[in-house]
Amino acid sequence: MSSDCNKDMGSNDGMSFWEVLHELENDAPLKDLKRSIFKHRMLKILRKGTVEERNAILKNICKEQIYLNQELMKAWHVAMQVHGNNEAYRIFFQYCIESQEPVLSELANTLSALGGGTPEEVLRSYRPNPRAQLLSSTYSWMFVSQPPACSVLILNVILRTWGVVCMHIMEALRSDLEALELTEEDLGFFSMHDLVGSGDQKMDYTWMVKGLKKVYKE
């Protein structure tokens, strides 16, 4: 999206929240992106690669996510400072911050199950991939420079797309967990974001939609 988020979304004056959300979900480039995920090289290896190859990919994803989540937390705190005077914005971003506790806990558990060490060890010794971290470098800019209604809609798109990634990861692994010497609990970080297969629904997107609606109305 351009720096003029409202303009880029096509002048949403008069559009309801649900109309905007529907428009985003049906955005052609976004649909193409989600379809392309299925054919990604990473998923091909997770489906057909050796145990060592699949374990290495999962471990690297978790390590990159340690850095991505760190930047996201920083961005939410920045958003609180910039937009905290508005009650709807403050409540939404505060909930975003608090909601990361179970996410980071599952991430640490999955990283450990894969033999990747602890988040603290990752931050000390792992050098993240600049390409993988490209998105995270825009988080603080987005929350400061864009109207909150735009930035939270973008955040929703990011999380929903990540949910599609996790759905495909779990689909690729579920039938072969025994060979990998893993359980679904071991892969809790991925299964909690799986939009389809998460039985316990640890990642509840209803709070996001409710918060989005309140922020959008402001």
Q: What is the mean pLDDT of residues 107-135?
A: 93
Kindly provide the b/e burial profile for residues 67-82, where b requires at least 16 CB atoms within 10 angstroms of the residue's own CB: bbbbbbeebbbbbbeb
**pLDDT bucket at 188, cuts 50 / 70 / 90:** very high
**pLDDT bucket at 164, cuts 50 / 70 / 90:** confident
Q: Which of 195, 186, 200, 146 is nearest to 166 (CA)?
A: 195
Q: Is 54 in a helix, a strand, or coil?
A: helix
Tell me the pLDDT tens digit for each residue of 80-90.
888 888 888 88
pTM for the whole structure? 0.81
Residue 69 contacts residue 196 (beta carbons within 8 Å): no
**pLDDT bucket at 110, cuts 50 / 70 / 90:** very high
